[in-house]
Structure 1
């Protein structure tokens, strides 16, 4: 089997309302879908969802990188995924979401060729995932009301709450949210690099009082030592790293340094399912669990992320919820998985099992 062609198509995803985090306000996302064709008539689809302040990419840079990689990829066997990653890394440093698009297309082809869903190719541990839903930064009162609605109306049992701008407001928000949803709902916080060390220790100490189970990326992405220090000072609340973890080398550094209890893997940060599986294997070797998160992705990359969660026992959490904030939840694609409240069930269709055509 050989790759014969690669085509790309830009898509713009509109959010139903602005989404605010510590370092940005997001109103829409421009992503790139790619179609990889083969000489056996099997097509695979992949996606890049660049985010400049996380991956260092824009939609235009992704288009350029795919054009750069295209001549080398044509003629390769799509089953040779490690060799394809070697080619991509040899051609250009970083550019992880562009590489992710290629990686996902290869796995989609593999699944279709073998007549198996991608989650089976990756490990096949399960086909069901319980997902969280994210609450963006707003007034504490508005955040508490949104939390109540997600629990009572939407059936979610795990909430991820954005923070990291004003510590005292964050603390007040957590108290109001806990009052709004009751004691049984699982709560975790994402500071998106918004704290310094002293603020992080103070915030986590207060968060612990309302039963926050984990706090994600308290400090700047580069401050591994600071994360280890915060972890040593606050017991009973798990420390998660996200923006710090772009590849398997970052995972090894974090685990060796005692910097985290859980790593957040994002396909767009690491370059796809192949690299994501490496990160999980390293974490598992150190007794560290993983979560799979997402950027502003269509149902294609979302299905890939959920497939990774379902396939691995060590990946215990899912934060693949961005599509729930779109004007079109399906993003023009049917299939992939079904959703009943916060439980996502993958289909057993070959590849990612999505209906896409361009």
Structure 2
């Protein structure tokens, strides 16, 4: 079996509710659908979500690197030659979501060729993942109303609060209102997307002490080396690296330097292969992990579930799997469903992301 063609299809789907965070704002999911074809008629699918304000990739640059750099170098190779393919991809620095999408498409082909779900090939620890839901940048009362509604409709009991782009007092108020309104059995954690300084993060921790917050994600820029190390030392809860740790090398640097003591794994930027390397580093060092979200579509969410459910460490915490609820539509032929706060792994060969051709035709941008 040989790779004989790779498609990079740009598409755009509006968000029903634009999403904002400290590092950026999105009103449309301007992604790239990767379809990798083989000479035996088996195809692999993956979603590529560029995030220009975080990693510097755009829809146009991602398409260009796939079509002009990566595809010509790996055409003719067997999808099982992942080591050789990754050595080729790694000659080019950065472009993490492009590399991640190619890797996921490879695994999709491998699963289909073996007639096995990819999650089974990766580890098959469980058949479902618990879901966390993202809240952000509304008045505290509206955030509480949203959380109560989401919990009632989907059974979700874990909430990630986006902070860091408004006065500290508003973020602190939101923490108190959510805890008071949701009760002590709900998991609440914070993500500042580098929006604070280390000293501001310490102030927030001081003023939210006793609320039972579980994690503090990417509170400040990793370039604040000394201050961030001091924050990690003083924080009573794990400080999670996210944007600062897109690769296994970055993970080892931040953990060994004391820049964080927990890691967000995102398959959209690491694929499954490097995500395994990252997970191995973390489990070997006794470091907590959480399955993060790149504002993924349902296609990308399926990939996160496939990896997260495959391993014990990645399934301990709720994964960030609900951002697709804010998209007005999707490309999947069979939409995802959240039941009792969980999403099941699809028991089909590959990752399970069958594309609806009519939806793809409606939203593609290269016509």
Q: Is the 8 A contact 1:3 1:73 kept in 2?
A: yes
Rounded to whole Å, the distance in 1 between the matches of 2:279 and 2:334 is 26
> How much has 1:309 moved relative to structure 2?
0.7
> Gaps (5+ residues) in structure 2?
358-367
Question: Mean alpha-carbon deviation: is it higher for 261-270 or for 120-129?
Answer: 261-270
Rounded to whole Å, the distance in 1 between the matches of 2:235 and 2:95 is 35
Relative to the length of structure 1, the TM-score reads 0.94
Indicate the residue corresponding to 1:314 in structure 2. Answer: 313
Indicate the residue corresponding to 2:265 in structure 1. Answer: 265
Structure 1 residues 336, 263: closer, same or farther in 2, change over 3 A? farther
Match of 1:160, SS?
strand
Deviations 1:200-219 (A, max 9, x none): 11101222322211111111
Rounded to whole Å, the distance in 2 between the matches of 1:254 and 1:285 is 15
Structure 1 residues 267, 221: closer, same or farther in 2, change over 3 A? farther
Indicate the residue corresponding to 2:172 in structure 1. Answer: 171
Relative to the length of structure 2, the TM-score reads 0.92
Rounded to whole Å, the distance in 2 between the matches of 1:287 and 1:310 is 19
Rounded to whole Å, the distance in 2 between the matches of 1:198 and 1:46 is 40
Q: Is the 8 A contact 1:337 1:346 kept in 2?
A: no
The higher-RCO structure (CA 8 Å, 6+ apart) is: 2
Q: Is the 8 A contact 1:219 1:226 kept in 2?
A: no
Rounded to whole Å, the distance in 2 between the matches of 1:226 and 1:124 is 40
> How much has 1:291 moved relative to structure 2?
1.1
> Gaps (5+ residues) in structure 1?
none
Match of 1:246, SS?
coil
Rounded to whole Å, the distance in 1 between the matches of 2:82 and 2:293 is 22
Rounded to whole Å, the distance in 2 between the matches of 1:181 and 1:18 is 25
Indicate the residue corresponding to 2:12 in structure 1. Answer: 12
Match of 2:164, SS?
coil
Deviations 1:262-293 (A, max 9, x none): 200112333x1111111111111110021111
Rounded to whole Å, the distance in 1 between the matches of 2:57 and 2:276 is 22
Indicate the residue corresponding to 2:107 in structure 1. Answer: 107
Rounded to whole Å, the distance in 1 between the matches of 2:87 and 2:157 is 41
Indicate the residue corresponding to 1:253 in structure 2. Answer: 253
Q: Is the 8 A contact 1:336 1:352 kept in 2?
A: no
Rounded to whole Å, the distance in 2 between the matches of 1:293 and 1:336 is 20
Indicate the residue corresponding to 2:81 in structure 1. Answer: 80
Size of the aligned set, in residue pairs, is 353
Match of 2:188, SS?
strand
Deviations 1:142-199 (A, max 9, x none): 2222222222333210000000122111101111111221111110011111111211
Match of 1:314, SS?
helix
Indicate the residue corresponding to 1:240 in structure 2. Answer: 240
CA-based RMSD of the aligned residues comes to 1.6
Indicate the residue corresponding to 2:2 in structure 1. Answer: 2
Rounded to whole Å, the distance in 2 between the matches of 1:357 and 1:178 is 41
Rounded to whole Å, the distance in 1 between the matches of 2:56 and 2:5 is 27
Rounded to whole Å, the distance in 2 between the matches of 1:154 and 1:311 is 23
Indicate the residue corresponding to 2:213 in structure 1. Answer: 212
Rounded to whole Å, the distance in 2 between the matches of 1:163 and 1:97 is 24
Alignment of 1:47-86 (within 5 A): 47-68=47-68, 69-86=70-87
Match of 1:355, SS?
coil
Indicate the residue corresponding to 2:29 in structure 1. Answer: 29
Match of 1:339, SS?
coil
Match of 1:55, SS?
coil
Match of 2:80, SS?
coil
Match of 1:131, SS?
strand
Q: Is the 8 A contact 1:145 1:180 kept in 2?
A: no
> How much has 1:295 moved relative to structure 2?
1.5
Structure 1 residues 17, 338: closer, same or farther in 2, change over 3 A? closer
Rounded to whole Å, the distance in 1 between the matches of 2:154 and 2:335 is 20
Q: Is the 8 A contact 2:19 2:27 kept in 1?
A: yes
